[in-house]
Amino acid sequence: MNLYEKTIAFVDKSFLAKKPHFERTVFWIEKFIPKATEAHKIAAYAHDIERAIKGEKDRDYLNPNILKSHQEAGAEIMEKFLKENGADNQIIATVKHLISQHEFGGDSEQNALMDADSLSYFETNAQHFVEQRAVKEGYAKIKEKLDWMFNRISSPERKNLAKANYKKWLKALEIYKK
């Protein structure tokens, strides 16, 4: 089993399920970085590992301090995992670099992961936020999440790829508007 396959097994076991969000994030990272390496795919699949390890209960998922902590802790978790599985220092450094800024972006590769995360969110996670979390958290909170996930996309071309799903989920959210 290669490192990427070990990462998939680790992440899926940590979340107690396979998450289509991670598969679609890998799909998009490969589109945005045509010469994506194993390290890019590992980072894309494991970018949210901190949520499995520390849990998501009652977290303010738009609080910048929590997001910063989330991405930094995820990078540390993956560094430890990769070291334990014999990864070379370059793979470890790349994965850590990418995950450590996947919420806010930074350089072109960190932006690619952030954008891949957003596009995948609209394909796989937005429905849960709109149809289940909006009932408890309300229209304004979920609209803020949708807007944030869309507005953080770093390029007009990538925003265009997400636009139809973004608009679809905004429209679906309207039933919760008071």
- The token pair at 30 is 């490969």
Binned at pLDDT 50, 70 and 90, residue 58 comes out as: low
Q: Name the residue among 101, 124, 123 with its Cα closest to residue 112.
A: 101
DSSP conformation letters of the chain:
--HHHHHHHHHHHHHTS--HHHHHHHHHHHHHSTT--HHHHHHHHHTTHHHHHH--TT--TT-HHHHHHHHHHHHHHHHHHHHHTT--HHHHHHHHHHHTTTTT--SHHHHHHHHHHHHHIIIIIHHHIIIIIHHHH-HHHHHHHHHHHHHT--SHHHHHHHHHHHHHHHHHHGGG--
Which residues form the domain of 10?
3-176
Q: Domain tally for the chain? A: 1
**Verdict on whether the full-model pTM lies above 0.85:** yes
pLDDT digits (tens, 9 = 90+) for 152-161: 999 999 999 9
pLDDT digits (tens, 9 = 90+) for 5-43: 999 999 999 999 889 999 999 999 999 999 999 999 999
pLDDT digits (tens, 9 = 90+) for 79-114: 999 999 999 999 999 999 999 999 999 999 999 999
Whole-number pLDDT of residue 101:
97
Question: Residue 53's domain is classified under what CATH number?
Answer: 1.10.3210
